Each structure stands twice: as structure tokens, then as C-alpha cells.
Amino acid sequence: KHSSAVTSLRVSITVTMGSSTTITTPDESSLSKENYKAMADVRRSLWMEGFKGMGYGAIFGFAIHSGTKAMQSWSMKRANVASGSTDATARHYLFRGLAFTKNTAFLSVMAGGALGAFLLSSTAGKNEVHNLHPVFDLGKKNTFRTRYQMLAQQSQAIDEEKAREHRRLNRRETITDRMVYGKGLSDCGRTENDEKN
């Protein structure tokens, strides 16, 4: 049960977060009962809304097909074109060249169902994703870095090391100058008049 919940979490992360954000799957031992319940609720909501969208879309697709077919029949009657007439191609009417059959009705139902399922399940996912934020936070502990991020971090470390080496060389040069020209560290605040006296 828990492994299936983590698998569905991986799918939910891929769907809701997209490819730009990478989150590792948290360990099953780090998930609480509330986390499992949240994942199950989101999964249930996605399935339910998907099935509702499929039903609504199928009905809508069939209605569009029937309405279009009725409009074509009405237009053909106004143009005095009998069904199966040889001069049908010479007349002008709505949706000329389209034949509405059982195949087109089946296509309309399937296409409407697929579109409705996609729209409603996507909407449900965007509305329910806030319930998974605690689970996402658990997976952020070991975040994956892209090659660009690793190169940028290495470049920043090299720049910091160069700056540190530059400061070290400046300190050595300053100390060397003070020792060579007779100015000790304790003589830093003395003026030329004090040295003459």
C-alpha cells in the first residue's frame, strides 16, 4: 500500500511540478499517516474528476456531432438537395463534403471524452497540489543539481579562492615592505616628524 502511494507521488510530482523542478522521492519511513492520506485524497480527486470529465466530454462531443448533422440536414433542405442526389456537389450548403456516420459519431464521443478527462483532471491537480506541499518539502532534502548549477558553484568557489589568495599576498607584501624599510608593525601610526625626533 505504501509503495503504491510513493509511486503515485512520483507521478504526481512529474505532472504537477514539471521538468524544471526536480524533487527526490522521500523515504517511506519519513512519511507520516497524514502524508499518505493527503496523497490518497489527491489521487482519488484526480481519478474522480477525470472520469467526470470523460463523461461530460463524451456527452458534449455527441451533442456537437448531432447538432452539426442537424444543421447540415437543415441546410440541405433549404438548398433543395435530396439525400443521395447526383447534383448535391453542385449545390451550396453547410458542411459540404462532410458525411456524418456512426464512425464520426464514435470519433466525436471519444475525442470529447479524452479532452474532458484531460481538462478536469488537470484542473483538479492544480487545485489539490497545495495538499502535497508537506510531502514535497520532505523530498527537498536531497535536491538534484543540474550541470550548469554545479559549474556555477565550482566557478564561485574558484573566484573565492582567488580573492582569498590575493588578500594573502597583499598582507605578505605589506608586512615585507614594513620590515624591509625599517617600519615595524608597532610603527604604523608614527609620522615622519616623530621619526626625525
Q: Check residue 111 and give its pLDDT.
A: 95
Q: Check residue 136 and give its pLDDT.
A: 74
DSSP 83: T
| Burial class of 29 by CB neighbour count within 10 A (0 to 12, 13 to 18, 19+) | exposed
Q: Which residues of the chain have pLDDT under 50?
A: 1, 5-6, 8-9, 11-21, 86, 90, 142, 197
Q: Check residue 12 and give its pLDDT.
A: 45
pLDDT digits (tens, 9 = 90+) for 29-70: 667 788 888 888 889 999 999 999 999 999 999 999 999 888
Q: Check residue 11 and give its pLDDT.
A: 46
Q: Check residue 14 and give its pLDDT.
A: 44
- Residue from 123, 137, 110 nearest 31 by CA: 137
Q: Check residue 38 and give its pLDDT.
A: 85
Q: Check residue 18 and give its pLDDT.
A: 41
pTM of the model: 0.48
Residue 93's CB is within 10 A of a number of other CB atoms, namely 17
Q: Check residue 184 and give its pLDDT.
A: 53
Q: Is the dihedral of CA 7, 44, 38, 127 positive or negative?
A: positive
Q: Check residue 122 and give its pLDDT.
A: 92
